[in-house]
């Protein structure tokens, strides 16, 4: 096994770290408090190539590997996981889904501007009654011959307001169950689309989260991805890659909290010595470092499998479940190490703890990941 990063991977990691530590840190607390979308940062990161990292250069993407993507996601999320999730959705869900399953015409029209970062995309799967049970789609896309007529509501949509391109999962033939679900590319500004208010979230408050209502929205037939009834499989396959992004985000949140805790423990003195020399604190940091390293290798393995063209769904489920749960533990301990200072916004760790919680919920809860892994155990794949 070769654990050495390539020069290009190190360069990408450093570029993400530099931007996060130099630019994102400047206004991250204010954007969190006021739930301000990071417009300027997303524009800058697009110019640096981070919004279409994984896309083939012939579609105007960066042509980077998934390992590089994990490295960048970790560095950005150490400082600002709201920016991290915006980058993740555009790369892992929207660009990946279009490049892997879209037609050449769809790639020319939609993928290229997404890869260049001129526009962003959103992935519309969750509904008021369809979260973990993604087969229970109530949004309808009725086949009208040359177009679909869409009606329904989607919930918890990242980039819901700012995106220009929606990848929508909707039911066309309820009698066929999940085989009747389609995936459609929808113009966010089409007639009949109403975006709800910005969700007042516990964490990742700077990201753009909304409900979206569709009322008699016409979607051209040529905007369907894949064959009729391919939508559910499309969603599940796309989410396999998305989970690598969220696992990397969780890894970054934990790493950021750990680095802050280490710095504080070396500076803060009690009973005449830095608190890192008290065994109670030292052992906390040792556990945090070990768990972070374990999560990092799970993320890297899933990314490597994807880059090698090998099945990676189980590995991505393991990485997401472990990294998300680990991030919650590590950020909680980071707050504890900071004591009273950890409970105030100035020291960042309370925000990272709030942000960590969402990684256990979206793009498949930790419980759903355990279902994926346990079924693989039963079938002999693990």
CA 197 vs. chain centroid, Å, equals: 21
Query: Which tokens is 280 given?
Result: 């109670």
The pLDDT assigned to 360 comes to: 98
Average pLDDT score over residue span 27-46: 97
The pLDDT assigned to 111 comes to: 98
**Residue 22, burial from CB neighbour count under 10 angstroms (0-12, 13-18, 19+):** exposed
pLDDT-derived band at 133 (thresholds 50, 70, 90) equals: confident
| Per-residue burial over 181-204, b = 16 or more CB atoms within 10 Å of its CB, e = otherwise | bbbbbbbbeeeebebbeebebebb
The pLDDT assigned to 134 comes to: 83
Residue that the structure tokens 């086949």 belong to: 143
Given a cut of 90, is residue 8 above it in pLDDT? Answer: yes
Given a cut of 90, is residue 223 above it in pLDDT? Answer: yes
Tell me the per-residue pLDDT of 278-314, one tens digit each, with 9 for 90 and over: 999 999 999 999 999 999 999 999 999 999 999 999 9
Catalytic site positions? 363
The pLDDT assigned to 131 comes to: 83
Given a cut of 90, is residue 72 above it in pLDDT? Answer: yes
Average pLDDT score over residue span 340-363: 97
Tell me the per-residue pLDDT of 243-271, one tens digit each, with 9 for 90 and over: 999 999 999 999 999 999 999 999 999 99
Given a cut of 90, is residue 1 above it in pLDDT? Answer: no
Helical spans, DSSP H, in 58-214: 66-79, 81-88, 96-101, 104-106, 112-116
| Domains of the chain from N-terminus onward | 7-119 (1.10.540.10), 122-230 (2.40.110.10), 233-378 (1.20.140.10)
Given a cut of 90, is residue 2 above it in pLDDT? Answer: no
The pLDDT assigned to 34 comes to: 97
Phi first, then psi, for residue 94 (nearest 5°) are -80, -60
The pLDDT assigned to 382 comes to: 86
Q: For the full predicted model, state whether its pTM sits above 0.75.
A: yes
**Residue 138, burial from CB neighbour count under 10 angstroms (0-12, 13-18, 19+):** middle
Q: How many residues does the chain have?
A: 382
The pLDDT assigned to 301 comes to: 98
Average pLDDT score over residue span 335-348: 97
Express as a percent the part of the chain with pLDDT over 90: 97
Average pLDDT score over residue span 311-323: 97
Average pLDDT score over residue span 112-138: 93
């Amino acid at each position: 096994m070769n654990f050495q990063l390539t020069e290009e991977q190190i360069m990408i990691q450093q570029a993400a770290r530099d931007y996060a530590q130099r630019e994102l840190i400047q206004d991250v607390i204010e954007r969190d408090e006021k739930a301000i979308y990071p417009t300027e940062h997303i524009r800058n990161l697009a110019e640096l190539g981070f919004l279409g990292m994984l896309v083939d250069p012939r579609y105007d993407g960066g042509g980077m590997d998934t390992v590089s993507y994990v490295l960048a996601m970790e560095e950005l999320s150490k400082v600002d996981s709201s920016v991290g999730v915006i980058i993740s959705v555009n790369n892992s869900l929207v660009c990946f889904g279009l490049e892997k399953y879209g037609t050449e015409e769809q790639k020319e029209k939609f993928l290229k501007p997404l890869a260049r970062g001129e526009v962003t995309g959103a992935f519309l799967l969750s509904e008021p009654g369809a979260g973990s049970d993604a087969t229970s789609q109530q949004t309808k896309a009725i086949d009208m011959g040359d177009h679909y007529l869409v009606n329904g509501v989607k919930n918890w949509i990242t980039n819901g307001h700012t995106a220009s391109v929606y990848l929508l999962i909707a039911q066309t033939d309820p009698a066929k169950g999940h085989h009747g679900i389609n995936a459609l590319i929808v113009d966010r500004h089409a007639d009949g689309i109403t975006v709800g208010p910005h969700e007042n979230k516990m964490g990742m408050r700077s990201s753009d989260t909304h409900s979206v209502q569709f009322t008699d929205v016409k979607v051209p037939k040529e905007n369907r991805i894949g064959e009729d009834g391919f939508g559910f499989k499309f969603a599940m396959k796309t989410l396999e890659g998305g989970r690598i992004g969220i696992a990397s985000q969780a890894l970054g949140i934990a790493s950021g909290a750990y680095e802050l805790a280490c710095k504080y423990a070396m500076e803060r003195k009690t009973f005449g010595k830095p608190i890192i020399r008290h065994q109670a604190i030292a052992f906390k940091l040792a556990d945090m470092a070990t768990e972070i390293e374990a999560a990092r290798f799970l993320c890297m393995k899933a990314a490597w499998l994807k880059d090698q063209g090998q099945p990676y769904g189980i590995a991505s489920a393991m990485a997401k479940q472990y990294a998300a749960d680990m991030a919650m533990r590590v950020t909680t301990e980071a707050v504890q190490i900071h004591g009273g200072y950890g409970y105030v916004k100035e020291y960042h760790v309370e925000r990272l703890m709030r942000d960590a919680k969402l990684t256990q919920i979206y793009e498949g809860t930790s419980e759903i990941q355990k279902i994926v892994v346990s079924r693989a155990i039963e079938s002999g794949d693990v």
